[in-house]
Amino acid sequence: MCGLAGKLGFHPGAFPTQSLLVDMCDRIAHRGPDDDGYWIQGPVALGHRRLSIIDLASGHQPLANEDNTIWVVLNGEIYNFVELRTQLEGKGHRFRTSSDTEVIVHLYEECGDAFVEQLRGMFAIALWDSRRRRLVLVRDRLGKKPLYYTVIPHHGIVFASEIKAILADPVVPRALNHEALDAYMSLLYVPSPLSMFKGIQKLPAGHLLTWCDEKVEVKEYWDLVFERRAVVSEETVLEELESMFQEAVRIRLRSDVPLGAFLSGGIDSSMVVRHMARQSPRPVITCSVGFNEQIYNELPYARETAESLRCEHHEQTITPRIEEIVGKLAHMFDEPFADSSAVPAYYVSEMARRYVTVALSGDGGDEVFAGYSRHYLHHLDGLLRRRLGVLGCGMVSRVAAALPLFKGQQVLTRLGGSAAQACAKTHTEILFKRDLKRLVYSSDFALRCRDFDVEANFTRYYHRSTATDPLDKALYVDMKTYLVDDILVKVDRMSMAHALEVRAPLLDHKFIEFSATLPSSLKLNGRTTKYLLRRGLAGHVPDSVLTREKHGFTMPLAEWLRGPLRPMLEDTLLSPRATQRGLFHTRAIQDLCEAHVRQRQDYSHQLWQLLMLELWHQTYLDS
- Considering the domain boundaries, does residue 422 fall inside one? no
Nearest to 230 by CA among 466, 517, 471: 517
Q: How many domains does the chain have?
A: 3
Q: Are residues 26 and 70 in the same domain?
A: yes
- Considering the domain boundaries, does residue 260 fall inside one? yes
Q: Are residues 22 and 67 in the same domain?
A: yes
The pLDDT, as a whole number, for residue 455 is 96
Nearest to 249 by CA among 272, 220, 224: 272
- Whether the predicted pLDDT of 229 surpasses 90: no
pLDDT bracket for residue 40 (50, 70, 90): very high
Are the CB atoms for 116 and 106 separated by under 8 Å?
no
CATH code where residue 276 lies? 3.40.50.620
Give first-to-last CA distance, the chain, whole Å. Answer: 30
What does the angle CA 335 – CA 337 – CA 341 come to, to the nearest 5 degrees?
Answer: 150
Nearest to 2 by CA among 125, 168, 142: 125
Are the CB atoms for 160 and 45 separated by under 8 Å?
no
The pLDDT, as a whole number, for residue 440 is 97
Residues marked active site are found at 2
Q: Are residues 601 and 536 in the same domain?
A: no
Buried (b) or exposed (e) across 513-535, using 16+ Cβ within 10 A? bbbbebebebbbbeeebbbbbbb
- Whether the predicted pLDDT of 296 surpasses 80: no
- Considering the domain boundaries, does residue 315 fall inside one? yes
Q: 80 or 54: whose pLDDT is higher?
A: 80
Buried (b) or exposed (e) across 25-49, using 16+ Cβ within 10 A? bebbebbbeeebbbbbeebbbbbbb
- Considering the domain boundaries, does residue 296 fall inside one? yes
Are the CB atoms for 141 and 99 separated by under 8 Å?
no
- Whether the predicted pLDDT of 158 surpasses 90: yes
What is the domain extent for residue 569?
556-623
Question: What's at 188, amino acid-wise?
Answer: L
Q: Are residues 208 and 271 in the same domain?
A: no
Last residue of a domain, one of 508, 523, 547: 547
Q: Which residues pair with 45 in a beta bridge?
A: 7, 40
- 193 CB-contact burial (10 Å; exposed 0-12 / middle 13-18 / buried 19+): middle
Helix (H, G, I), strand (E, B) or coil at 580: coil
- 610 CB-contact burial (10 Å; exposed 0-12 / middle 13-18 / buried 19+): buried
598's torsion region: left (phi>0), alpha (psi -120 to 50) or beta?
alpha
- Whether the predicted pLDDT of 498 surpasses 80: yes
Question: What's at 522, amino acid-wise?
Answer: L
Sign of the CA dihedral running 244, 245, 250, 251: positive
- Considering the domain boundaries, does residue 361 fall inside one? yes
- Considering the domain boundaries, does residue 446 fall inside one? no
Average pLDDT estimate for 459-482: 97
Question: What's at 355, amino acid-wise?
Answer: Y
Nearest to 520 by CA among 187, 226, 267: 226
Q: Are residues 532 and 574 in the same domain?
A: no
Q: What is the pLDDT of residues 369-399, one digit of tens each?
A: 999 999 999 999 999 999 999 999 999 999 9
Helix (H, G, I), strand (E, B) or coil at 531: helix
- 116 CB-contact burial (10 Å; exposed 0-12 / middle 13-18 / buried 19+): buried
Average pLDDT estimate for 321-349: 91
Cα separation, 398 vs 14, whole angstroms? 60
- Whether the predicted pLDDT of 324 surpasses 90: no
pLDDT bracket for residue 28 (50, 70, 90): very high
- Considering the domain boundaries, does residue 182 fall inside one? no
Torsion on CA atoms 152, 158, 164, 169, rounded to nearest 10: -70
pLDDT bracket for residue 552 (50, 70, 90): low
Cα separation, 282 vs 310, whole angstroms? 10
Q: Are residues 527 and 566 in the same domain?
A: no
CB atoms within 10 A of CB 175: 12
Average pLDDT estimate for 324-344: 92
| Side-chain half-sphere CA neighbours of 383 within 13 A | 9
- Whether the predicted pLDDT of 187 surpasses 90: yes
The pLDDT, as a whole number, for residue 291 is 81
Long-range contacts of 215-220 (CB under 8 A, 24+ apart): 216/151, 216/157
Contacts of 344 (CB under 8 A, 6+ apart): 289, 291, 318, 553, 554, 555
CATH code where residue 66 lies? 3.60.20.10
Are the CB atoms for 523 and 531 separated by under 8 Å?
yes
Tell me phi and psi for residue 254, to 5 degrees. Answer: -75, 115
The pLDDT, as a whole number, for residue 555 is 77
Q: Are residues 27 and 112 in the same domain?
A: yes
- Considering the domain boundaries, does residue 515 fall inside one? yes
pLDDT bracket for residue 55 (50, 70, 90): confident
Q: Are residues 614 and 526 in the same domain?
A: no
Q: Are residues 207 and 84 in the same domain?
A: yes
Q: Are residues 6 and 105 in the same domain?
A: yes
The pLDDT, as a whole number, for residue 152 is 96
The pLDDT, as a whole number, for residue 533 is 96
Are the CB atoms for 163 and 609 separated by under 8 Å?
no
Mean confidence (pLDDT) of the chain: 94
- Whether the predicted pLDDT of 141 surpasses 70: yes
Q: Are residues 244 and 150 in the same domain?
A: no
Average pLDDT estimate for 125-147: 97
The pLDDT, as a whole number, for residue 547 is 87
The pLDDT, as a whole number, for residue 551 is 66
Q: Are residues 324 and 364 in the same domain?
A: yes
- Whether the predicted pLDDT of 430 surpasses 90: no
The pLDDT, as a whole number, for residue 306 is 96
Which pTM was predicted? Answer: 0.95
The pLDDT, as a whole number, for residue 323 is 80
Q: Which residues pair with 40 in a beta bridge?
A: 45
Nearest to 218 by CA among 133, 120, 151: 151
pLDDT bracket for residue 414 (50, 70, 90): very high
